[in-house]
A and B are shown apart, each in its own frame.
Chain A
Amino acid sequence: MTEFTSEIRETVLRSATKEVVIARNRPFCIIGERINPTGRRIFQEQLRAGDLSAIDRDVAAQVAGGANVLDINMGVPLTDEADLLVRAIQRVQDLTDLPVCIDSSVLEALEAGLRVYQGRALVNSVTAEDERLAAVLPLVKKYDAAVIALPNDEEEIPMGADRRIELVAKIVEVATTEYGIPIEDIVIDPLAMPIGADTGVVVTTMETARRIRDTWGLNLTCGASNVSFGMPARHVLNATYLPMAMAHGMTSAIMDARTPAVVESVRAADLLLGNDEWGGSWIASHRAKQAAAAAVP
Chain B
Amino acid sequence: MTPDEILQTMYDQTLVGNAPAVLDLTHQALELQMAPSSLLFDSLIPALEEVGARFERGDYFVPEMLIAGRAMAGSMAVLRPLLAETGVQTVGKFVMGTVKGDVHDIGKNLVNIMLEGAGFEVIDLGVQVAPEKFISAIEEHRPDIVGFSAFLTTTMPMFKANLNALVKSGLRDEVIVMVGGAPVTQEYADAVGADGYAADASATVKRAKQLLEQRRALVPA
- Which A positions have Cβ atoms within 8 angstroms of B? 38-39, 41, 44, 48, 75, 77-78, 81, 104-106, 152-157, 193-194, 196-197, 199, 229-232
Shortest Cβ distance from B112 into chain A, in angstroms? 13
Which A residues lie within 8 Å of B188 (CB)? 77-78
Which A residues lie within 8 Å of B105 (CB)? 157
Shortest Cβ distance from B38 into chain A, in angstroms? 32
Stretch among B20-28, B61-69, B73-81, B136-144 lining the A interface: B61-69
Which B residues lie within 8 Å of A81 (CB)? 153
Chain A to chain B contacts (Cβ below 8 Å), 20 pairs: A38-B183, A44-B185, A77-B153, A77-B183, A77-B185, A77-B191, A78-B187, A78-B188, A78-B191, A106-B154, A154-B103, A154-B128, A155-B128, A193-B106, A194-B62, A197-B109, A229-B62, A231-B62, A231-B63, A232-B61
Contact B154 A197 (CB under 8 A): no
**Closest residue to B188 on the A side, CB-wise?**
A77
CA distance A104 to B62 in the complex (A): 28
Contact A105 B153 (CB under 8 A): yes
Shortest Cβ distance from A235 into chain B, in angstroms? 15
Please pick, from A77, A194, A199, A229, the residue contacting B156 in the complex, using a CB distance under 8 A. Answer: A77
CA distance A81 to B152 in the complex (A): 13
* Interface residue? B203 (CB, 8 A): no
CA distance A231 to B65 in the complex (A): 11
Please pick, from A105, A154, A229, A232, the residue contacting B154 in the complex, using a CB distance under 8 A. Answer: A105
* Interface residue? B207 (CB, 8 A): no
Please pick, from B66, B106, B109, B183, the residue contacting A75 in the complex, using a CB distance under 8 A. Answer: B183
Shortest Cβ distance from A194 into chain B, in angstroms? 6
Within residues 98 to 116 of chain B, which ones have a CB less than 8 A from any CB in chain A?
A: 103-106, 109-110
CA distance A153 to B110 in the complex (A): 22
CA distance A156 to B98 in the complex (A): 11
Please pick, from B103, B109, B156, the residue contacting A157 in the complex, using a CB distance under 8 A. Answer: B103
CA distance A71 to B3 in the complex (A): 58
CA distance A13 to B97 in the complex (A): 39
Contact B183 A156 (CB under 8 A): no
**Closest residue to B157 on the A side, CB-wise?**
A77
CA distance A157 to B128 in the complex (A): 11
- Pick the most buried of A106, A193, A199, A230: most chain B CB atoms within 10 A of its CB: A230
Which B residues lie within 8 Å of A199 (CB)? 63
